[in-house]
Amino acid sequence: MFKESFKLSEISDFLGGQLSGDGSITISEIKTLLEADKGSISFIYNKKFKKDLEATSASAVLISKEYINHCKVDYILVANPHESYAKLTQLFSGNLRKKISNKNYADSYSKDGIEIGKNVFVGKNVIIEKGTKINSGSFIGDDVFIGEETYIHPNVCLYHSVRIGKKNIIHANSVIGSDGLGFANNEDSWEKIEHLGSVELKDNVEVGASCTIDRASLGATILNNGVKLDNQVHIAHNCNIGKNTIIGAKTAIAGSTVIGEECLIGGGCGIVDNIKIEKGVRINPMTFITKSIKKPGIYSGGSVVLEHSKWLKHITIQKKQFDD
């Protein structure tokens, strides 16, 4: 969906930065430091990614002064790389929110056992494979792919560029491909980070009613083969859920977290961002996970109701036991 490309000099001028390198280079994508290659631009705003900066194959990087000596490729010097990255995503997103899709292509899909219900909207360049059923009131955005024999219940929303594998079931009112929570602070307000990635549901995935699966900021949010979600589950941007993992109702998983294969996650759990949970882990209901789990097993974190002073003592003991 996003096909914009710009000269490096144009990007530097747009951001008000200081260019060091070849301004005639064409930049067609924004990628992370490790995924970046020729024709892409990346960014660094946290020192924990310093080694990634040194190893990047990006054509250029957005950096601040503290990282100049660690950068081996062309760069644009800016005061706040995170804010500049946010502005750059807006440039690359083009006219995403400046127009509405008015032409409905739903009537174009009437062969190979495909069934489209009443009041379904299908955007342009959509691929729907044989045997798929889409119930009334659903929205299918531009450039979506839906694999064979998938069943979509009423009032489902698939944002642009989402990819759905074969034999999936998506229950009513679920939203797949909405933006994640991404903003950069620019002192007195928040600069929106446009999410240029997508969502990929592999095969035999089931999504419960009223779930939300956010698109990746860059790359893809992925639910692998056989993943099952109960109702009202939230999967944030750039998460990767391992095959045959089951997640209970009202669990929320924050951005860029990786869940291993064949995990069982109970209802009402909270899982923080940027951690990894090992294959075969079982997490009991109402557990709050704040760090990576590196060993398979059964984990519980719910607490009984106590007076606050007693609860503080209780939670301190729990934390010490977990750290051990």
Q: In this structure, are residues 247 and 266 in contact, taking their beta carbons and an 8 Å threshold?
A: no
Residue 237 annotated among the catalytic residues of the structure? yes
pLDDT above 90 coverage of the chain, percent: 85
CATH number at residue 197: 2.160.10.10
The residue type found at 127 is: I
Kindly list the distances between the CA atom of residue 169 and the CA atoms of 97, 128, 235, in Å, as whole numbers in the listed order. 29, 14, 17
CATH number, domain at 27?
A: 3.40.1390.10
Q: Which of 46, 88, 85 is nearest to 67 (CA)?
A: 46
Give residue-wise pLDDT tens across range 296-305: 999 988 766 7
Residue-level pLDDT at 323:
67
Residue 189 lies inside a defined structural domain of this protein: yes
Question: Rounded CA gap, 152 and 125, in Å?
Answer: 19
* Closest-CA residue to 14 (of 73, 75, 74, 90): 90
262 contact partners, CB below 8 Å, separation of at least 6: 242, 243, 244, 245, 279, 280
**Domain contains 122:** no
pLDDT digits 0-9 by tens, 8-34: 999 999 999 999 999 999 999 999 999
- Helix count and strand count (H, E) for the chain: 4, 36
Mean pLDDT for the stretch of residues 97-101: 75
Average pLDDT, the chain: 93
Q: Both 176 and 295 in a single domain? A: yes
Q: What is the per-residue pLDDT across 235-254, written as a single tens digit (0 to 9) for each? A: 999 999 999 999 999 999 99
- Write the burial class of residue 105 (CB in 10 Å: 0-12 exposed, 13-18 middle, 19+ buried): middle
Q: Is residue 319 part of a domain?
A: no
Residue 129 in any domain: the answer is no
Looking at residue 186, what is its pLDDT?
83
Domain hosting 184: range is 171-299
Burial 182-213 (b: 16+ CB within 10 A, else e): bebeeeeeebebbbbbbbbbbbbbbbbbbbbb
Q: What would the mean pLDDT of 185-206 be, rounded to a whole number?
A: 94
Tokens of 101: 């899709």
Q: What is the pLDDT of residue 159?
A: 97
**How many C-beta neighbours within 10 Å does residue 143 have?**
18
How many folded domains does the chain comprise?
2
Q: Is the pLDDT confidence value at 277 over 60? A: yes
Question: What's at 31, amino acid-wise?
Answer: K
Handedness of CA 16, 21, 27, 33 (dihedral sign): negative
Which residue among 160, 171, 237, 314 is the active-site one? 237
**Contact criterion met (CB below 8 Å) for 26 and 9:** no
- For residue 206, is it within any domain? yes
CB 10 within 8 A of CB 26: no
Supply the pTM of this predicted model: 0.91
> How many Cβ atoms from other residues are within 10 Å of residue 77's Cβ?
20
Query: pLDDT-based confidence at 317, cuts 50/70/90?
Result: confident
Backbone angles phi, psi at 117, to 5 degrees: -75, 180
Average pLDDT over residues 109-138: 95
Averaged pLDDT for residues 210-239? 98
Assigned domain for 286 exists: yes
Asked if pLDDT for residue 318 goes beyond 80, the answer is no
**275 within a domain of the structure (yes/no):** yes
Q: Does the pLDDT at position 3 exceed 60?
A: no
Domain stops at, among 69, 92, 115: 92
Residues 6+ apart with CB under 8 A from 99: none
Q: Are residues 275 and 176 in the same domain?
A: yes
